[in-house]
Structure 1
Amino acid sequence: MTTTNTPPAEWAPHAAVWIGYPSHPELWLEDLDDARDEVAAFARAVHADGRGEQVVLVAADAEAAADARTRAPFAQVVVEPFGDIWLRDTAPILGGDGKARDFGFNGWGGKYDLPGDDDIGARLARHRGLTILPCDWILEGGAIDGDGTGLVVTTEQCLLNPNRNPRLSKAEIEHRLAADLGLTRVLWLGNGLLNDHTDGHVDNLARFVAPNRLAVPRAAENDPNWQVYQDAAIRARAMGIDVVEVPSPGRVLRDEEVVPASYMNFYIGNAAVVVPIYGSEYDDAGVAAIRALFPDREVVGLRADAILTGGGSFHCISQQIPA
């Protein structure tokens, strides 16, 4: 059931999108330049030569802002101090009423406590003149994904994690999702991807692509997450949700460690759907499968290896502003 506070589905029209711009050399080290290139390419695809949406690059300081203007001259650049670029989790979530829900943020369960991340959401909302509705519990945008009808998917690993809201029961979290975001039906998946430091954000695992239609990865050979994908599909189908399978990138390594690479971290823009790719042999198949789900949009695959060194990809660094 849709209410005025239910966030529109991501495929609904956007007025703009906030995208975090890599700003801190001490966080990105030798990956900084490549990460900036990848973010600028993502922004360019979303802007789509003016056919897409307004791109607002959020830079933490004057140096990063100047760099952003050079690499992405089509974008609006806003300077607001932050800890890191994962605006899906730290920017506000806008409801259908256009008001900004500003949730608490605790550094993904206290793992990464960086100055500016706890209040960047309110500052971005004020910058656009939005009405701010404070919500007094911890919730990251990447932990939920909705289809615009009041149906939402999340993971038990994240939303029930004692490092987020230890005094809230499952029923109380469901109540707050309904009260604050109009999300009245909750599909609870189990765990997220291996080595995902967000404690299993669902936007790396399963995404709505139409009302009541959920995309879930299909495991490649030697995929470390095959049981996670299988369990997600079983739970979704048991709730009566149409499941469509998309090839996974398989086992992706960096410095001999499995990283949480996923095609599910795509961003749905007005003109384009941008899919992160990683140099996997399954990249073409993954992009093709997502292209088939969005026949009215251009679907492009762009490398996101450097961004992934920080732990996420295109969806993680962006937060749409509904029209």
Structure 2
Amino acid sequence: MKRIPFWLFLVAFLAVTLSSCLKDHVDPTGPGADPDAAFYMPAEFEPLASVWLSAPTVDYKNGLSMLAVQAEMIKEILPTTTKVDYAVNSPEDIDALKTALISRGVAQAAIDTAIHFHTVSHGDLWIRDTGGTFMKNKKGGYQVVDFDFDAYRTKEYIPDASYAIYQLDNDVSLGTGAAKGASVLRSTLITEGGNLHFNGKGTVIAVKKSLLASNPSLTLSQIEAELKRVFNLKKVIFLNENTASDSHPVLESPKLFNGQAYFNFGVWHADEMVSWIDDHTVLLPQVPASELASGNPFTQVSYQALEDAYQILSHETNQDGKPLTIIRAPEPSPIVVELNAGDVMYESLKEMKGIQHFPTDGSPVQFVMAAGYMNYVVTNDVVLIPKFYKPGRDASLQQKDEEFNQLIKSLYPTRKVKQLDADAITVGGGGMHCITQQVPAL
């Protein structure tokens, strides 16, 4: 998750100052009386105009390249009808992506026609969370929702200088919105796009603990009302808990198992837990009860969170009162990597106030990646899904990778399904879904 490089400190200060002026000039009035002018949030599986990504600024573990993962993703997207919008900090970011794509056999002509580069200052690449959520209306217009951002509920645990740099990402939505000619709807609610999963017909699923933690002065009813206001929603479904690999780095980490501390960095997001297949069908992972015998606390927490979510969703309806259909998917077993001093994620954890059991002598730590199959990307013609098995990892991952591959093929029969190694993203606390943001087709 989401450590921002210190070289952006001065840029962050200037950007925050400028953004305060910009927000005074965006249109806060919302839709007018004309129903065709009302903005609404389509589902991710509906036709798209483009998919946003943003240039990486760091790698979270040495030897694992975020740019390489992006290049593999874009390589699969480019031959399709979905275009790519790419946010950069500098011309060097453009050159880096082009070089990565050409080295993978992507033609220069395809790059020139399918990728649109935009200068949008950003501290990190988690554009799902900070890049604004794009709505549309029947008149052919876009509106982007600009929420506030609190560095994923870490403000009281990280140095003030780090938090100040995070605020560079508070207003990425203004840049992405301007690039697409979108009006901006301002909300003082603090949330991230990764915690909002829409069915396209007026219902959203969110994990409530992150919303309550980021907005302590608001009740859940007030949060619900604000979500309904900005997205013209009819219904909000709140899940209670998160999977273990999406646990808070201080409040819920580390977990001890067989005398060893296992750290992780999560942010309590719905896109680690669920995905809409249509307006009344939800994909939800399942941890087999047989895996609980290991005693692994990550397995136990995930099992409890997912079964709690199942109980909630199985008693819910969509906006039209239709009961939800729940399809269970595999949940990967905990995937552990070793972090060393100098790895960005290692240094991010090290600087956190209140974190327990972190070594003071620079020795390595065991880190559980934010691995989840729900963190996948749907475009017009291809679905990008993660694969987690590698030699040396739990053999069950190989079977689960294939099980999920076949499941997605059955659920998206008109789209190509491509499995990608996204470890470089997952070790940062997210997945491929976290580093994209869709723009609906008009």
Task: Determine if contact 1:263/1:275 at 8 Å carries over to the other structure.
Answer: yes
Equivalent residue for 2:429, pick from 304, 311, 320? 311
Give SS of 1:12's match. coil
- The aligned runs of 1:1-323 (5 Å cut-off) are 4-24=38-58, 28=60, 30-31=62-63, 34-47=65-78, 49=79, 51-72=80-101, 73=108, 74=111, 75-97=115-137, 98-111=142-155, 113=163, 114-161=166-213, 164-196=214-246, 197-220=265-288, 221=291, 223-224=299-300, 225-239=302-316, 240-255=323-338, 256-279=366-389, 280-281=397-398, 282-323=400-441
State the distance in 1 between where 2:276 and 2:385 align: 14
Unpaired runs of 5+ residues, structure 1, are none
Give SS of 2:374's match. helix
Q: Structure 1: which amino acid aligns with 2:315?
A: A
Q: How many residues align?
A: 315
Give SS of 1:167's match. coil
Task: Determine if contact 1:153/1:189 at 8 Å carries over to the other structure.
Answer: yes
Sequence identity (%): 27
Give a deviation string over 1:152-179, Cα, whole Å, max 9, x none: 1111221222xx1111111001111111
Q: Greater CA deviation, 266-275 or 245-254?
A: 245-254
The 1:85/1:312 distance shift into structure 2, 3 A limit, reads same
Q: Greater CA deviation, 126-135 or 264-273?
A: 126-135
State the distance in 1 between where 2:266 and 2:147 align: 16
State the distance in 2 between where 1:118 and 1:14 align: 25
Q: Kindly indicate which of the two structures has a greater share of residues assigned to helix.
A: 2
Task: Determine if contact 2:228/2:236 at 8 Å carries over to the other structure.
Answer: no
State the distance in 1 between where 2:81 and 2:266 align: 29
Question: Displacement of 1:77 after TM fit?
Answer: 2.5
The 1:28/1:253 distance shift into structure 2, 3 A limit, reads closer
Kindly report structure 1 stretches of 4+ aligned residues shifted beyond 4 Å: none
| Greater C-alpha radius of gyration | 2
Task: Determine if contact 1:151/1:212 at 8 Å carries over to the other structure.
Answer: no
Unpaired runs of 5+ residues, structure 2, are 1-35, 102-107, 156-161, 247-264, 293-298, 317-322, 339-365, 390-396
Give SS of 1:117's match. helix
State the distance in 1 between where 2:370 and 2:134 align: 27
Give a deviation string over 1:222-261, Cα, whole Å, max 9, x none: 5341111111111100113110011112221122332220
Question: TM-score, normalization: structure 1?
Answer: 0.91
State the distance in 1 between where 2:151 and 2:136 align: 27
State the distance in 2 between where 1:257 and 1:316 align: 19
Task: Determine if contact 2:370/2:431 at 8 Å carries over to the other structure.
Answer: no
The 1:286/1:10 distance shift into structure 2, 3 A limit, reads same
State the distance in 1 between where 2:421 and 2:81 align: 20
Task: Determine if contact 1:247/1:289 at 8 Å carries over to the other structure.
Answer: no
**Aligned alpha-carbon RMSD (Å):** 1.9
Task: Determine if contact 1:82/1:115 at 8 Å carries over to the other structure.
Answer: no
Question: Displacement of 1:81 after TM fit?
Answer: 2.0
Give a deviation string over 1:181-232, Cα, whole Å, max 9, x none: 0222111111112142453100011111111110000215353411111111
Task: Determine if contact 1:15/1:322 at 8 Å carries over to the other structure.
Answer: yes
Give SS of 1:233's match. helix
